[in-house]
Amino acid sequence: MYTQGLDQAGYDTGYAQDDAALAQRFQARVDAEDKIEPKDWMPDAYRRTLVRQIAQHAHSEIVGMLPEGNWITRAPSLRRKAILIAKVQDEGGHGAYLYSAAETLGVARETLVDQLLSGAAKYSSIFNYPTLTWADAGAIGWLVDGAAIMNQIPLCRCSYGPYARAMVRICREESFHQRQGYELMLALCRGTEAQKNMAQGALNRWWWPAVMMFGPSDRDSKHTTQSQRWKIKRFTNDELRQKFVDFTVPQAEFLGLTIPDPELRFDADTGHYEHGPIDWSEFDAVVKGNGPCNRERLAARRTAHEEGRWVREAAAAHAAKQALRRAAEAR
C-alpha cells in the first residue's frame, strides 16, 4: 500500500548494533501489545522502517490531492464541488497528521519534503494514474479510498503510538471519502446510458491499479515478516487484497457494473472471490517512476513548493519582526 517502496527494496532488519537485552525487552513490550512512544528505546531498524513507512504514507496523501484536485473546477454541481474540496482538504490534513507522527521519530519536516520533491521518496503507485473523466472522481473514492481503509484500519493498532493515533483520526474521516465516491458512482449508474458507460470506463481503468495498491504478493514481499513481528503490519498484502476484492465485487454488482477480470469467480468452498493474474510488470514500472503521471505529479508538487516560497519567507520575516518588537517592548 503506502509501503510499496519498502516491499520492493532489500532492507536490513537486524538488531546487530543494538544491545540485545534492550532489543529483547522492546520485543516483549511489542508482544504484550504495549505501545511504543517517541522517547522510548527502540531498535534503529524499527525507527528507520517507521520513518520510511510513515513518510511514504504522508507523501501519498499529499500527492493524492492532485488526481481529484484536477476535477474541482469541473465538478457538475455545487454540492459535488463542495464535497470534493472537503475531501481534498482532508487529504492535505492526513498528510499533516502523518508528517507530525514521522517527526516524533527525530526526522525534520523539511528533510521529508525534500525527499519527496527530489524523487528520492516513494508514494503509492495509484496516484500516478490520470483522472480522465468525472467518473474517476467516484472510482477513486470508492476503490482507492476503499482499499486504503482496508490497509489503514489495522494500522490503528500499530505498535508505534503516534502513528496509531494519527491513523485513528484518519480512519474516522476516510469513511466519508469512500461513501461519497460510491454515491457518485451510483448517481452515474442510475443516469443515462452515457453516464453509466462513463462509470464502467472508470471502473475498467481503476480496478487493477486499486488491486495492486496492496503491494507485491506475499510470495515476493521481503518486508512482511519483520514488520509483522514489530506489529507495524497486522495482515499480509494478499490477505488485505483478498478482503478488498470480497467487499468490492458485490458493490460493483449492485451498481450494475462489470469488474474487468474475465477470470473473477466466487469460490463457494472458501467463500472468497478468486481474481485473475495481476500484471506485476505494470506495477513495477509505476513504482520505478514510469507510470502514466509520475513526472507530472512530481512537477506539480515542485511548482506548488516553489510558488509557496515567498509566502513561507514572508511569514518567517513577519514572525521575526514581531519577536523583535516584543523584545524591545519588554525592555
Partner 1 sequence: MTESHQGWPLYEVFIRARAGLDHKHVGSIHAADPAMAVEHARDVYTRRGEGVSIWVVPAAAITASDPDEAGALFEPARDKVYRHPTFYDIPDQIETL
Q: Which positions lie near partner 1, rule CB under 8 A?
A: 37-41, 86, 89-90, 93, 96-97, 100-101, 103-104, 106-110, 165-166, 169, 173, 312, 315-316, 318-319, 322-323
The least CB distance from residue 313 to partner 1, in Å, is 10
The least CB distance from residue 63 to partner 1, in Å, is 18
Q: Check: CB of residue 62 under 8 Å from CB of residue 95.
A: yes
- Cβ distance to partner 1 smaller for residue 98 or 210: 98
- Cβ distance to partner 1 smaller for residue 93 or 154: 93
> How many whole angstroms separate alpha carbon 37 and alpha carbon 178?
31
Cα angle 171-61-257, degrees, rounded to a multiple of 5: 70
In this structure, which long-range contacts are made by residues 251-257, counting pairs with CB atoms below 8 Å and at least 24 apart in sequence? Answer: 251/142, 251/182, 252/203, 255/185, 255/186, 255/189, 255/199, 256/189, 256/196, 257/185, 257/189, 257/199, 257/200, 257/203
> How many whole angstroms separate alpha carbon 257 and alpha carbon 64?
25
The C-alpha cell 528507520 sits at 48
Which letter does DSSP use for residue 141 in this model? Answer: I
The least CB distance from residue 72 to partner 1, in Å, is 17
The least CB distance from residue 243 to partner 1, in Å, is 27
- Cβ distance to partner 1 smaller for residue 86 or 132: 86
- Cβ distance to partner 1 smaller for residue 42 or 75: 42
Count how many Cα atoms sit within 13 Å of the Cα of residue 229 in the half-sphere of its side chain. 14
The least CB distance from residue 102 to partner 1, in Å, is 10
The least CB distance from residue 309 to partner 1, in Å, is 12
Of 104, 127, 128, nearest to 55 by C-alpha is 104
- Cβ distance to partner 1 smaller for residue 16 or 108: 108
- Cβ distance to partner 1 smaller for residue 85 or 149: 85
